[in-house]
Amino acid sequence: MGVNRSKIQKKLNNLRNSGGNKTSKLWKPDEGKHRIRIVPYRWQKDYPFLELYFHYELPGPNYLSPISFDEESGIGDDELIQRGDPIAEFADEVRRNRGQEGYEMWKTLFPKRRTFAPVVVRGEEEKGVRFYGFGKTIFENLLEKFADPDWGDLSDPKEGRDIKLTYIPRAQSDTNYPQTKINVSPKKTPLAEDEDQLREFYESQVQITEVFDVPTEEELQEALEDYIQGEDSDDEEEEPVTGSDSEEEETNVEETTETSDFEEEFDEMFGE
């Protein structure tokens, strides 16, 4: 039958394009204080947040799930919107039909949300607009600020507000997780004083789908089959263990503080 040269060439192109050009469009805060500005997303001007879903607990590479794209989200073309995710579909099926065991499997298989916003980092304006990713706590806090008429549109290029962000890595944190704290500046400031710079920030933006590869249904099906085969192999090799499951630890966080182990896991996935 021979090798599939088209598939090999596609994989080669993905490997060649997975380096700095893509990761340079992601911003991860270093330890300490930062000042950033959320900017309007060129392809979704009325909503700056991009809610993506990732498979990151499976063996092998991590995948951006096609469920990230729908007509309501406004991101992704028609082909991506129509693309299915057999892993997410299988996860929903086992959750419905296999009781507690199915629920545990669903927690592993169903993709996890990671929200992104296009930002300009103060002091690094020459690097242009990049995408900053964050979890549920920060997302909810930012939504509350955007919804509050007293704060106004934080992303407005002329009358918006900067966000002061402090990142504390795990080693320096008083919890077992890295921490991110945010505060909105009370002062309105323009994104840039120069009209040409404003235009450059807008026109030089890239689409989020240029930063993350979206797998085909066939690739996701193959990953699902590899996972199921691995589970079957584990069941055959491991002896049954009786006893109660330990309860998951809950971390209480302040409204403006996000503590998450996923920060580090995500950085390992897509970091330079």
Tell me how far apart the alpha carbons of residues 69 and 76 are, in angstroms, rounded to a whole number. Answer: 6
Give the residue from 29, 66, 73 showing the smallest Cα distance to 51. Answer: 73
Residue 152 and residue 96: Cα distance in Å, rounded? 43
Query: Domain-by-domain residue ranges, the chain?
Result: 24-29+38-152+193-225+254-270
pLDDT at 18: 46
The whole-number pLDDT of residue 266 equals 55
pLDDT of residue 2: 65
According to the model, what pLDDT value does residue 176 have?
Answer: 84
Residue 70: what pLDDT? 84
Cβ 181 vs Cβ 166: under 8 Å = yes
Give the pLDDT confidence score for residue 57 in this predicted structure: 84
Q: SS3 sequence, the chain?
A: CCCCHHHHHHHHHHHHCCCHHHHCCEECCCCEEEEEEECCECCECCCCCEEEEEECCCCCCCEECHHHCCCCCCCCCHHHHHCCCHHHHHHHHHHHHCHHHHHHHHHHHCCEEEEEEEEEECCCHHHCCEEEEECHHHHHHHHHHHHCCCCCCCCCCCCEEEEEEEEECHHHCCCCCCEEEEEEEEEEECCCCCHHHHHHHHHCCCCHHHCCCCCCHHHHHHHHHHHHHHHHHHHHHCCCCCCCCCCCCCCCCCCCEEECCHHHHHHHHHCC
| pLDDT computed for residue 58 by the predictor | 84
User: Which residues have a Cβ under 8 Å from the Cβ of 54 and sit 6 or more positions away?
Assistant: 62, 63, 64, 65, 111, 112, 114, 266, 269
Q: For residue 249, what pLDDT is reported?
A: 32
Q: Give the pLDDT confidence score for residue 256 in this predicted structure.
A: 53
* Tokens, residue 154: 């934080």
Confidence (pLDDT) at 114: 95
Write down the pLDDT at residue 134.
95
Per-residue pLDDT of the chain (272 residues; tens, 9 = 90+): 566 555 555 555 554 444 445 788 999 999 999 999 999 999 999 999 999 999 988 877 889 999 999 877 778 888 999 999 999 999 999 999 999 999 999 999 999 999 999 999 999 999 999 999 999 999 999 999 999 999 999 999 999 999 999 999 999 888 888 999 999 999 999 999 999 999 999 999 999 999 999 999 999 999 999 998 876 555 555 444 333 333 333 333 333 566 555 555 555 554 44
Fold of 24-29+38-152+193-225+254-270: Replication Fork Single-Stranded DNA Binding Protein (3.90.198)
CA distance 36 to 164: 7
The pLDDT score that the predictor gives to residue 265 is: 57
Query: Which pLDDT does position 230 carry in this prediction?
Result: 78
